[in-house]
Chains A and B, each alone.
Chain A
Amino acid sequence: MTGLAANLGRRSAVTELAPAAAAATPALRKAGTVRFEALGKSYASSAGQVQALAGIDLDIRAGEIFGIIGRSGAGKSSLLRTINRLERPSTGRVLVDGEDIAALDEAGLVALRRRVGMVFQHFNLLSAKTVRGNVALPLRVAGLPGGEIARRVDQALELVGLTGKGDTYPSRLSGGQKQRVGIARALVSRPEILLCDEATSALDPETTVSILRLLRNINRRLGLTVVLITHEMSVIREICDRVVVLEAGRIAEQGPVWQVFGAPNHAATQALLQPLQHGLPEDLVQRLRDKRHGAGDETLVELSFLGRNAPDLGQLAAVTGQGAGRGRLRLVSSQLERIQGHSIGKLLVALGPGVAPEALAPLADQTRILGYVDASDD
């Protein structure tokens, strides 16, 4: 439900803010694309040549929140780091706004990095500088005048909700505040692209939510492209528009988040989704039988929603009709989410005797009979 509200809010906010944003920085809305072409990366290690990335072809669009997910060692961090050339690809190309970044000299690279902000898992703040000093550094090294720096640092601190914390040293801040400083530092150069390297992995769940909300807010207000990597599917679900799943350095699958969540094709995706899914309740597992025994047995049916059909409880009740006995249609458990306006998840229902499970098939994207339980036990 919160996902729904946020999504609705997002559309309206973009349309409201778009003219203002366009007036402030005319090129902003168009810039911020990344394209990987046949990208590969290999390292020489003690165990020989290690292929970290291979055959990566991807397009990241301007203004979207793009998620890169994979298990540890899948190559997601390497992939992200090729965008601002903290790592150089071994083969293939990276194009930022259509420009091949492999050829850049130090000056070109510095210019690129001012257009591409980065936020780190462990914040990487300078302990010898105050919050203000950290956020100001990108502008100082760019040679901006002091007054301009002060103004923009104030703006950035306000944007991340740290007004008044400017003179504090990072060691006095909480993890969430440190990450806000990291975000302010990344944004103060007004980049088109923001790279987030496991930006919430070192934070507790509550702080994670607030940082993700901040990132979504920034994406909405400034119209910048956000590329984030994570090993948590919940982060992807929370804020991403599209996602790519990496496995062993290759693309396992990619698409809009609701599609990948609704119908994960690759084993790696399914494994990553596992923590978000409930299994069959234990008491039911023990009572479940393959065949119908008594006349009063209920049929346990799993209805899967992959984003095409929306669960319609009225219809469900209607098709199960006037079946005899108690519990002609009981909802046993449900796990439905709304992702990008699509209903994704599962309903587990118990059908009383006399109701044909086949009748439910048109109402869900997939239906599966799990087995039978003796209703008298309940």
Chain B
Amino acid sequence: MLTPQMIDRLQQAFWDTVLMVSVSAGIAVLVGIPLAVFLVTSGPGGIFPAPRLNRIVGTVVNGFRAVPFIVLLVALIPFTRLVAGTTIGVWAAIVPLAVSATPFFARIAEVSLREVDSGLIEAAQSIGCRRLDIVRHVLLPEALPGIIGGFTITVVTMIGASAMAGAVGAGGLGDVAIRYGYQRFDTTVMLVVIAILILLVSAVQFTGDYAVRRLRAR
């Protein structure tokens, strides 16, 4: 059914997907969490109030979230060239993936951070916590289960979005499914790819859920 070349190709595609998603997810965490903390703490009544800047950043985040990924992929080409030094291949796909995932994840993390009981912040203030102490010891640890749940959703969404990365020649599982399954009517390859994607998404979801359960159980 599957030729050895096809198996090789699928293997390559699998690792391309894993690479694209994990690097851009890493960037989404590194940028998205500080962004989420900023959005929560800089609002009116927050611990670092800066309402004007908060509104501006909020609008920019919404702007990025409004653009469909496939459009972002093309629109960001100059920026991608600047950052990755190329506009094709896996690294060229990572830039738009990260740019798309960061605001998405930031908004989800923001919701979890907002749900931290204001009484806890007040208690932290009352014991002499400075504002950065509050972020470090109260906001982030208390919101962690929600943030991890949100991160799981982000990764799953990115696995889906990475299918479009084939448009810049990045390869990956989605690309194989489109080229062989859709364009060449090779149903077997498409079904195999879908099965791999289901397994991959299930593994991500299971790991995320497990981590959240462990944290919530204390």
Which chain A residues have a beta carbon within 8 Å of chain B's beta carbons? Answer: 84, 86, 106, 110-111, 113-114, 116-118, 120, 122, 124-129, 137-138, 140-142, 169, 171, 185-186, 189, 195
Contacting residues, chain B, for A126 (C-beta < 8 A):
120, 137-138, 141-142
Identify the closest chain B residue to A140 (Cβ). Answer: B137
Contacting residues, chain A, for B125 (C-beta < 8 A):
86, 113
Q: Is the CB of A142 within 8 A of B128?
A: yes
Give the docked Cα–Cα distance between A125 and B142 (Å): 10
| Closest Cβ–Cβ distance, residue A274 to chain B (whole Å) | 30
Instruction: List CB contacts (< 8 Å) of B113-142 with chain A.
Output: 117, 119-120, 122-131, 133, 137-138, 141-142
Contacting residues, chain B, for A129 (C-beta < 8 A):
137, 141
Give the docked Cα–Cα distance between A345 and B133 (Å): 51
Of residues A122, A124, A195, which shows the largest number of chain B Cβ atoms within 10 Å of its Cβ?
A124
Contacting residues, chain A, for B141 (C-beta < 8 A):
126, 128-129
Q: Is the CB of A124 within 8 A of B117?
A: yes
Give the docked Cα–Cα distance between A117 and B129 (Å): 12
Whether, in the assembled complex, B161 has its beta carbon less than 8 Å from a beta carbon of chain A, the answer is no
Identify the closest chain B residue to A112 (Cβ). Answer: B128
Whether, in the assembled complex, B144 has its beta carbon less than 8 Å from a beta carbon of chain A, the answer is yes
Q: Is the CB of A118 within 8 A of B126?
A: yes
Contacting residues, chain A, for B126 (C-beta < 8 A):
84, 86, 113, 116-118, 186, 195
- Total A-B pairs, Cβ < 8 A: 70
Give the docked Cα–Cα distance between A299 and B141 (Å): 70
Contacting residues, chain A, for B218 (C-beta < 8 A):
127-128, 169, 171
Q: Is the CB of B119 within 8 A of A189?
A: no
Give the docked Cα–Cα distance between A120 and B126 (Å): 10
Q: Is the CB of B119 within 8 A of A124?
A: yes
Q: Is the CB of B144 within 8 A of A141?
A: no
Give the docked Cα–Cα distance between A111 and B128 (Å): 7
Q: Is the CB of A113 within 8 A of B127?
A: yes
Contacting residues, chain B, for A185 (C-beta < 8 A):
123, 127
| Closest Cβ–Cβ distance, residue B157 to chain A (whole Å) | 26
Contacting residues, chain A, for B137 (C-beta < 8 A):
126, 129, 137, 140-141
Contacting residues, chain B, for A127 (C-beta < 8 A):
142, 218
Contacting residues, chain B, for A195 (C-beta < 8 A):
126
Give the docked Cα–Cα distance between A138 and B126 (Å): 9
Contacting residues, chain A, for B128 (C-beta < 8 A):
110-111, 113-114, 138, 141-142, 189
Give the docked Cα–Cα distance between A195 and B122 (Å): 13
Given contacts A86-B125, A128-B144, A141-B137, contact A122 B119 (CB under 8 A): yes
| Closest Cβ–Cβ distance, residue B145 to chain A (whole Å) | 9
Which chain B residues have a beta carbon within 8 Å of chain A's beta carbons? Answer: 117, 119-120, 122-131, 133, 137-138, 141-142, 144, 215, 218
Q: Is the CB of B142 within 8 A of A141?
A: no
Contacting residues, chain B, for A124 (C-beta < 8 A):
117, 119-120, 122-123
Contacting residues, chain A, for B129 (C-beta < 8 A):
110, 137-138, 141
Q: Is the CB of B138 within 8 A of A186?
A: no
| Closest Cβ–Cβ distance, residue B215 to chain A (whole Å) | 8
| Closest Cβ–Cβ distance, residue A328 to chain B (whole Å) | 61
Contacting residues, chain B, for A137 (C-beta < 8 A):
124, 127, 129, 137
Contacting residues, chain A, for B127 (C-beta < 8 A):
113-114, 117-118, 137-138, 141, 185-186, 189
| Closest Cβ–Cβ distance, residue A24 to chain B (whole Å) | 21
Contacting residues, chain A, for B122 (C-beta < 8 A):
86, 120, 124
Give the docked Cα–Cα distance between A185 and B138 (Å): 15
| Closest Cβ–Cβ distance, residue B127 to chain A (whole Å) | 4
Give the docked Cα–Cα distance between A138 and B129 (Å): 7
Give the docked Cα–Cα distance between A111 and B129 (Å): 10
| Closest Cβ–Cβ distance, residue B166 to chain A (whole Å) | 41
Contacting residues, chain B, for A125 (C-beta < 8 A):
123
Contacting residues, chain A, for B133 (C-beta < 8 A):
141
Supply 9 A–B pairs (Cβ within 8 Å), ascending by A. Answer: A106-B130, A106-B131, A110-B130, A117-B127, A124-B120, A125-B123, A127-B142, A127-B218, A138-B127
Of residues B117, B127, B129, B218, which shows the largest number of chain A Cβ atoms within 10 Å of its Cβ?
B127
| Closest Cβ–Cβ distance, residue B190 to chain A (whole Å) | 44
Contacting residues, chain A, for B123 (C-beta < 8 A):
118, 120, 124-125, 185
9 additional contacts (CB under 8 A) given A113-B125, A113-B128, A124-B122: A106-B131, A117-B127, A120-B122, A120-B123, A124-B117, A126-B137, A128-B215, A138-B127, A189-B128
Given contacts A137-B129, A138-B128, A189-B128, contact A128 B142 (CB under 8 A): yes
Contacting residues, chain A, for B119 (C-beta < 8 A):
120, 122, 124
Give the docked Cα–Cα distance between A86 and B215 (Å): 30
Give the docked Cα–Cα distance between A137 and B144 (Å): 18
Closest 4 CB pairs of A and B: A124-B123, A128-B141, A118-B126, A138-B127
Contacting residues, chain B, for A114 (C-beta < 8 A):
127-128
| Closest Cβ–Cβ distance, residue A119 to chain B (whole Å) | 9
Identify the closest chain A residue to B144 (Cβ). Answer: A128
Contacting residues, chain B, for A84 (C-beta < 8 A):
126
Identify the closest chain B residue to A129 (Cβ). Answer: B141
| Closest Cβ–Cβ distance, residue A178 to chain B (whole Å) | 12
| Closest Cβ–Cβ distance, residue B5 to chain A (whole Å) | 50
